[in-house]
Structure 1
Amino acid sequence: MAAKHVAVGLDAGGSKTSLLAQCDDRSGRIERRGPPANPQRSGLEESAGILGALVQEVVRSRQPVEHLSVCAGVAGAGRASEQKVIATRLRRALTDEALSVDVQVVHDASIALDAAFGSESGLVVIAGTGSVVFGRATDGTTQRAGGWGHLLGDAGSGYAIGRAGLRAVAEAFDGGAETALRPRLGDRYGIDTREALIHRVYQEEIAIQDVAPMVIDAAEDGDAVASDILATQTAELAQQVEWLLAQIHDIAPRTALLGGMLQNQGYAQRLHRTLRDSFPDWSIERLQREPAVGALRRARRQVA
């Protein structure tokens, strides 16, 4: 079935890639799912290849296509240089799929903001394996806080909370505050000695973010150490919102929350409460649309 214009939005994350597309007749959306395409893990070349293959799958069933517009929000591609490389390689891969091809690659927080508020002002807080705060002022100016990766930051993320939980267990082995996390790690991972902890973390490379739900559950059950970790991490994420607001002015007082950590109800409630205490006059809601919606909106604007 031929289409004069095809708009494609991509949300490329660390766990999967989501595609939403729409043809010029607006007769319904096309959805696809693919493997993760974070360039920090797979490399720029493979990231572009994954995105290109998904787009080709959609477009080739609708030939001939006059104009193809693509917007990809790519986790792990926060720098303009990375975005340019992926965009160039993706455009090259799609050259033969349409008479004209327009490709835009942006940070995944940018498409989340578009999914939440369109092109209008607002702020998003993303808390998944990593974390970032991203906002847009009423004049279109954007600003980011966080998003430094697991070595330098990612406050309130699954990685940061899991790492803090493992550190608390290490401190307990050294004679520090006792915590329910120690027997929980023993039951889940067989970590019952300091040697076992070192082995699992350094030799077997435990998925540190997978420890985060254990910390949240322990906090919900009243463990003081786990509760302090959760309070500290969500407070640091709220601090990043404050830092962002100090740098960008005239922003609509509304925040959308998203990310894998928000799937945990205990974490979602704690983060919402922390942000509400810090910003009592703001609207704070969970994002009700998937970020790929924001990428599709941007792709449509490229067509217009």
Structure 2
Amino acid sequence: MSFFLAIDAGGTKTTGVLADETRILARAVTGTVKLMRVSEGEATSRLRGLLSQLSLEAKVSLADLTRTCIGLAGLSIEAVREWAEREIGEVVGGELLLCGDQEIALDGAFRGGEGILVIAGTGSNVIGRASDGTRYSAGGWGPALGDEGSGFWIGQEALRGGFWARDRNIPTVLLEEISEFWKLESIGEIVEKANLRPGPDFAALTPVVVKCAEQGDDLAKAILERAGEELAEQVSLVAVKMLETGTNGEVGLAYTGSVIEHVGIVRESMVRALKQSAPRVKLMEGAVDSLEGALWRARGGGRNA
């Protein structure tokens, strides 16, 4: 019997399954192992703990694995790839497949076929695969250079918008709610915290912005709607590239990430914008399970992809 390990190592958490050809034998979850967020020692400890838990629950030795597929954020960074190859390779048997986290999400939706995936959580990215297998992307350059429509972007825009409105005496409760969330007592403290280096977790402010929008704050709602429009623009860029390769008919659009999954205003705004900019792109029902894409690859799917 063959055994397969699939891991989705994202920016906020790491999930894994150990399976045979037809059944999932064990599931486990731990914190992120993304080296840009935690130390190498912490990442290694979390990864090894996850692997041990899966092996124990499934009653399968890691040495007996046929193939492992791990989707890892930041894989384009050489140090990240070297760490993953070393730490996983030392404890698991069989073949090791390293993929970007966006690749396994794309496969979770389309199983190697044509389609576009929009990722909008802490960061944002859009990736598409044309009918000939060519991949295209837009965004994903990190918070300092882009990540439009992401949680980080929404948090920063809420602060910028709040101060913009304060200078112009435009009513909004954004700064008040952010101050309460951060447990601060003055405008000066907000300015100081927002300008710290390294900076605060701006993405954590997304629920605050959503709350303000739901309570009728026009500026908060406008920020969330603009987030959807920014994501739609990136999707449109990828769609144009795919259509130039000869893609015919409608193109499926899948999504994953906390913002696009849970913030309806953002998702609905994106769909409205796409009706104008990319009418052949159609949103699929339900969020993608990236781990399913990693397991599909571990079991041998996409061997020629």
What is the letter of the counterpart of residue 260 of structure 1?
A: S
Change (3 A) 1:220 1:275: farther
Q: Which residue of 2 aligns with 1:264?
A: 263
In the TM superposition, what whole-angstrom CA distance separates every residue of 1:114-134 from its partner, at most 9, and x where no partner exists? 111111111110110101101
2:54 paired with 1:58: yes
2:252 paired with 1:254: yes
Equivalent residues in 2 for 1:1-304 (5 A)? 4-24=1-21, 26-43=22-39, 47=43, 50-59=46-55, 61-63=59-61, 66-77=64-75, 79=76, 81-82=78-79, 84-94=81-91, 97-98=92-93, 101-175=94-168, 177-191=170-184, 193-202=186-195, 206-248=200-242, 249-251=245-247, 253-261=251-259, 262-301=261-300
Give the aligned CA root-mean-square deviation in angstroms: 2.8
> So what's the TM-score if we normalise by structure 2?
0.84
What is the letter of the counterpart of residue 31 of structure 1?
A: R
- Aligned-pair identity in percent equals 28
Contact 2:74–2:80 (CA under 8 A) maintained in structure 1? no
Alpha-carbon separation, structure 1, partners of 2:40 and 2:179? 39
Alpha-carbon separation, structure 2, partners of 1:27 and 1:121? 27
Cα offset for 1:288?
A: 4.4
Alpha-carbon separation, structure 2, partners of 1:63 and 1:212? 42
What is the letter of the counterpart of residue 150 of structure 1?
A: P
Cα offset for 1:172?
A: 3.3
In the TM superposition, what whole-angstrom CA distance separates every residue of 1:185-216 from its partner, at most 9, and x where no partner exists? 34433556431212332459542112222223
Change (3 A) 1:269 1:29: farther
What is the letter of the counterpart of residue 73 of structure 2?
A: A
> So what's the TM-score if we normalise by structure 1?
0.85
Change (3 A) 1:83 1:139: farther
Q: Unpaired runs of 5+ in structure 2?
A: none
Change (3 A) 1:163 1:152: same
Cα offset for 1:70?
A: 0.8
Alpha-carbon separation, structure 2, partners of 1:300 and 1:250? 30
What is the letter of the counterpart of residue 15 of structure 2?
A: S
